[in-house]
Structure 1
Amino acid sequence: MVRSVYQFPPILTDLSLSNTELMEDPMPMMEKLPRPQVLKLKQNSYLGRKLACVGSGGFPELKVLNLKSMYWLDEWTMGAGAMPKLESLIANPCAYLRKLPKELWCVKSLCKLDLHWPQTELRQGLRTFEDMEWRYDIQLYPYGI
C-alpha cells in the first residue's frame, strides 16, 4: 500500500518507486503531493493495468514522468488541468498502452515524448501530431511514426 500523502516529506521533489509491487493505483494519492517535479514508476512499482490522474490540479509541479517497465499498463486517464507543467514523458516499454490521454496534449509545457515499443493503435494515434514536430520532440523506438 502507498503511504498516506501526509507521510511524505512536504519538500519532496523527486520520487522514484521500484519493486514495490503495488496493486492499487498510486496516482490518486501521489497527485496530491505539492512539490514533486520528477516521478519515476519503475520495474514492478505498480502491477495494475490502469493509471488515473483525475484531479484537476494534480501534480502541480511535475515536469518529468517516467513510466519504466510497467509492462501491463494498457490504460491511462488524466483529468483536465492535471500535470500543468509536464515537460517530458517517457514510457519504456508501452507495448500495451492503446492511447495517451487527450488531456496530455493540452499541457502547453509538454515538449518531449519518448515511447518505446508502442503498439500499432498508439503509433497511429500519434500520426495526428506529425505536423506539430515544431512543438513536440516525439521519439518512438523502434524509430518512426
Structure 2
Amino acid sequence: MPADRKPIRVLFVCMGNICRSPAAEIVFRHQVADAGLNDAIEIDSAGTIGYHAGKGPDPRMADTLRRRGYTIEGRSRQVTAEDLRDFDLLLAADEDNLADLRRLDRTGTHREKIRLLVEYCVEKEANHVPDPYYGGQRGFEDVADLVEDACQGLLDTLKRQIG
C-alpha cells in the first residue's frame, strides 16, 4: 500500500459485542492477515449497548471459532458517534443494529457507510446474522458460516478498492 494512502477502517456492530460482531472481527482479521493486507485494512467491533463492555467474546462463540482455527481476542465496547466519523464502513449484524446506527447518525452524514454485513455474502443467502445467544450450538455454527462467507465477500470487495 502506498505510504500516502490511509487504511480502510471497518467496524462490525451487533447488540452486545460478544457474539456476532466479535466473530466477524476475528474472522475478518484472520482473512486480512492471510491476504497480507494488515497495513491496508483496520478492523474493530462494537455493540449498540454497553452491557458487556470490557468482556471477551461469549465462550460458546469463542469455542466455535477456535475449533475453526481462529485466534480469539478482543473486548466488548459500545459504539460511539465518533465511530461513525472514524470508520469507513460500519457493518451491522441485523436490521435492529442498523437502525441503532442510523439513529446515532443524527444528521444522516454517514448513512452511505452504514450497511448490513450480509450484503457481502457470496455463497449464503440471509437477510441478517441471527443472534445465537439464547440458542444452541447450531446457532453459533450458523453464525460462523455466515460471517466467514460475508467477510470473504467483503475482503474481495475491498481488495478491488485497494488495487
Q: Same fold (TM over 0.5)?
A: no
Greater RCO, 1 or 2 (C-alpha within 8 Å, sep 6+): 2
More strand by share: 1
Greater per-residue helix proportion: 2
Q: TM-score, normalised by structure 2?
A: 0.23
